[in-house]
Structure 1
Amino acid sequence: MASVVFYFQVHQPYRLRRYTIFDSDSNYFDDKKNAEIARKVANKCYLPANAVIEDLVRRHDGRFRVSYSLTGTIIDQFRRWVPEALDSFRRLAETGCVEFICETYYHSLAFLYNRREFITQAQLHRKLMQELFGQTPRVFRNTELTYNNDVAGAVEEMGFDAILTEGADHILGYRSPNFIYNPPNCSSLRMLMKNYRLSDDIAFRFGNRGWAEWPMTAEKFTHWVDQINGNGYVCNLFMDYETFGEHQWADTGIFEFLRTLPACVLATRKNDFLTVSEAVARYPAVGEVDVPHMISWADTERDLSAWLGNSMQANALHDVYAASETVLANGNETLLDDWRKLQTSDHFYYMCTKWFADGDVHKYFNPYESPYDAYINYMNILDNVRNRAATA
């Protein structure tokens, strides 16, 4: 049997307003644009996709099961501007067939710079999942699936059962992402690794008429899943939830694909659907995967270069975390929240100067004309945050 493990990332950052060296107020975020994008994506993706998922769960008597992580920033935006979207996720939680997993509240790269901040944000997010959905997450995913052995150790210490990461070829080698693994030096933590080929067939190639496999049907995809039988236990399909309706527009047939896939998979009687925790509980780890260097699910390199590929990004990341002691000592909760919103990884993604094959991805809802504009704007705001923090 091959179990399909759907995991969807739901996230939007707080995009920054234009902020010059002559500005001195603390209104850093473009609320008009953020509200507009939150409503747009909710109407194109979150609301219709959630309606399809809820219908599929009920139509298949709970045999269709999925997992999500919702960042704290998107939940905050739902509360402010699209409460009906948050209500629709609550209804999914009530089905008992949807799992919500943990990540950093602010979708940050805190693990790289400040372990205490990383743990705090994970704890904040875990508490949020408990309050909103009545679930205590047992599985963790670090921002953008950034991962190495050290991340695994920290996550195990926080009491999680499993962690998600990218099934990068240069890490797996001859091995397959269709099994569950152990990180080295972890006594109980399990790894679920993304099957990026099948995931990206949905997330990136689905509507591409130049793709050799276009059009992709539920029957064709089910055949690919079925080929895992005898060669693995799980088919880990990890992707941005915005795949449905935003990255792949409704007129590509993406919603119809989602509606018909579960019936095709279940009709084989050889395959099923599991949440991430259920997959870990059912299947044993088959071996150890050593990841000494950081990997991620971003771009073709599957590394940190999307956020740390140039000196602007490195400087901005260093400086925002260098302000931690001053911000925390200040004790102002609004200042603390502003500083943490500035940690969101998207801000550094907008500063990326490597376009090429990944260019379209980097342009997604990017509010800047160039990476240099993104850097200057960000540093102007960070300078104001530091000045506020230094004021008793």
Structure 2
Amino acid sequence: MKTICLYFEIHQITHLKRYRFFDIGTDHYYYDDYENERTICDIAERSYMPALNAIGEMIRDNGQMFKVAFSLSGVGMEQLEMHAPQVLEKLQELNNTGCVEFLAEPYSHGLSSLANEETFALDVKKQCQKIEEYFGKRPTVLRNSSLIYSDDIGAQAAAMGFKGMLTEGAKHVLGWKSPHYVYHCAMAPNLKLLLRDVELSDDISLRFNNSDWEGYPLFADSYIDRIARFPEEEQIINIFMELSALGIAQPLSSNILEFIKALPACAKDKGITFSTPTEICMKVKSVGALDVPDTLSWVDEERDVSSWLGNALQREAFNKLYSVADRLRIADDPGINQDWDYLQASNNFRFMTTKPSNVGLDRGIYSGPFDAFTNYMNILGDFINRVNALYPAEIDNEELNALLTTIRNQGDEIVYKDKEIARLHTLLAKYEDGSEKPAAKPAAKKAPAKKPATKTTAKKTSAAKTATAKKAATKTTSKK
């Protein structure tokens, strides 16, 4: 039986403000608060809330037959917490239906998987903890930023304990193979791979409202008919996109939500179900390994990482940022860590791209890639100066780690002693006001006096000595 795995990404960039060279060292706040509030409120009103309400209707109308998955970046959740908490409340309401799964991804929505394994692992762990706090369950399937994947990244995901991972069904990777099967990582056979159907996903997220497209207008019944016509053995249909496609990329006036809401009923008529990524990973066996020696993603025609690291400007900024990754991980300073999350976001590097794209790129305050690079590097210069001021560059990572470990141990000891002092002060105060008296020492026990031997005991002892003497005399006589 065919099943559809429907997944939506929710991420919101933290916009950087205009930051000039002369601000370095004097201004340590890097963000455009007005633009952050304006954009997240606009997207929540025009896309997130209408789309989530529609998904809620689909669950109410279809019950357990309809299921859907989401992944939320940690930095995106922070924006929602501050400016659009109703989105998170709606997601919690959907979670209570039991028809929704939340996936893991890097907290920063960054590119740490391409730079530093330890940083990537901590980035994912931090997001998993936040997801568990909100929705009560730790994710078991990983989705990397922009579906970035390679054999090495898959092996690391398996080492972190994930059952499966989502990635792109790119033609240059699949070759003659179909994305409608479950595969596994070539370096970690226990990690299942779910591959995005590029055409079916982009028909909704990119082309739905394009009147010049040959498939326009797209109807739910014809869309499901295409899925039903796939060969019988092709059972897994993965449709992945950003949630903002419903309302932003494809405006609500295009009837995109009516199309989405009609999918479950049309699928049911064809005997097609909906499943979450974890359900598929648990129930469906892999048909074989997928070799991905080079990194792929779901962005642009090349389906690689050239949108973020394709030119010298991007690589310079990327290498400069992650040059302090080990020190930040060792130091673990809360204030620095928050800026670190925001500066890692992949959008910062996408603004520097010089390649053409079939998807419109809004650079915001930047006039072009060099402007984006200059602004980002000014901010990064101040950020790294702050790191070096706290932990001088002359101290190598091993020495810094040892020093901070000693400081933390001393801090723990001080905390313990402070608690003990406070406890003794409280106890002393109780003794002084008479509400509690020291416990009296127990009296020393006297050794029991020896009882005088009774006559019966004395007689028995005398008789025993006489018997012993007779035996000794008998033995002496017999020897002679």
TM bucket (normalised to shorter chain) is over 0.9
- In the alignment, the residues of structure 2 paired with residue 348 and residue 149 of structure 1 have an alpha-carbon distance, to the nearest angstrom, of 23
Q: Which has the higher contact order (CA 8 A, sep 6+)?
A: 1
1:141-180 to 2 correspondences below 5 Å: 141-180=143-182
- In the alignment, the residues of structure 1 paired with residue 196 and residue 58 of structure 2 have an alpha-carbon distance, to the nearest angstrom, of 23
1:1-392 to 2 correspondences below 5 Å: 1-23=1-23, 24-268=26-270, 270-328=271-329, 331-355=332-356, 357-358=357-358, 360=360, 362-363=361-362, 366-392=364-390
Cα contact 1:146–1:295 (8 A) shared by 2: yes
Cα contact 1:330–1:389 (8 A) shared by 2: no
Cα contact 1:228–1:235 (8 A) shared by 2: no
- In the alignment, the residues of structure 2 paired with residue 94 and residue 219 of structure 1 have an alpha-carbon distance, to the nearest angstrom, of 29
How far did residue 369 of structure 1 move? Answer: 1.6
Match of 2:425 in 1: none
Give me the identity figure in percent: 35
Partner amino acid, structure 2, of 1:159:
G
- Structure 1 outlier segments of 4+, above 6 Å: none
Partner amino acid, structure 1, of 2:4:
V
How far did residue 185 of structure 1 move? Answer: 2.7
- In the alignment, the residues of structure 2 paired with residue 153 and residue 60 of structure 1 have an alpha-carbon distance, to the nearest angstrom, of 37
How far did residue 136 of structure 1 move? Answer: 1.1
Cα contact 1:203–1:239 (8 A) shared by 2: yes
- In the alignment, the residues of structure 2 paired with residue 227 and residue 211 of structure 1 have an alpha-carbon distance, to the nearest angstrom, of 22
Partner of 1:44, secondary structure, is helix
Partner amino acid, structure 1, of 2:11:
H
Match of 2:469 in 1: none
Structure 1 unmatched runs, 5+: none
- In the alignment, the residues of structure 1 paired with residue 284 and residue 244 of structure 2 have an alpha-carbon distance, to the nearest angstrom, of 29
Partner amino acid, structure 2, of 1:187:
P
Partner of 1:75, secondary structure, is helix
- The normalised TM-score by structure 2 is 0.79
- In the alignment, the residues of structure 2 paired with residue 219 and residue 390 of structure 1 have an alpha-carbon distance, to the nearest angstrom, of 60
Cα contact 2:189–2:289 (8 A) shared by 1: no
Seen in structure 2, the aligned counterparts of structure 1 residues 199 and 386 have a Cα distance that, compared at 3 Å, is: same
- In the alignment, the residues of structure 2 paired with residue 81 and residue 58 of structure 1 have an alpha-carbon distance, to the nearest angstrom, of 28
Higher alpha-carbon Rg: 2
Paired residue total: 388
Partner amino acid, structure 2, of 1:349:
R
* Range 343-352 or range 21-30, more displaced: 21-30
- The normalised TM-score by structure 1 is 0.97
Cα contact 2:197–2:239 (8 A) shared by 1: yes
How far did residue 229 of structure 1 move? Answer: 4.6
How far did residue 367 of structure 1 move? Answer: 3.3
Partner amino acid, structure 2, of 1:292:
P
> Alpha carbon RMSD of aligned pairs, Å?
1.2
Match of 2:411 in 1: none
Cα contact 1:327–1:386 (8 A) shared by 2: no
- In the alignment, the residues of structure 2 paired with residue 283 and residue 121 of structure 1 have an alpha-carbon distance, to the nearest angstrom, of 29
Partner amino acid, structure 1, of 2:17:
R
Q: Deviations over 1:226-249 (max 9, x none)?
A: 122514111100111111001100
Partner amino acid, structure 2, of 1:299:
D
Q: Deviations over 1:328-379 (max 9, x none)?
A: 4555311121022101100000100112x4251x22x633221111100000
- In the alignment, the residues of structure 2 paired with residue 372 and residue 380 of structure 1 have an alpha-carbon distance, to the nearest angstrom, of 12
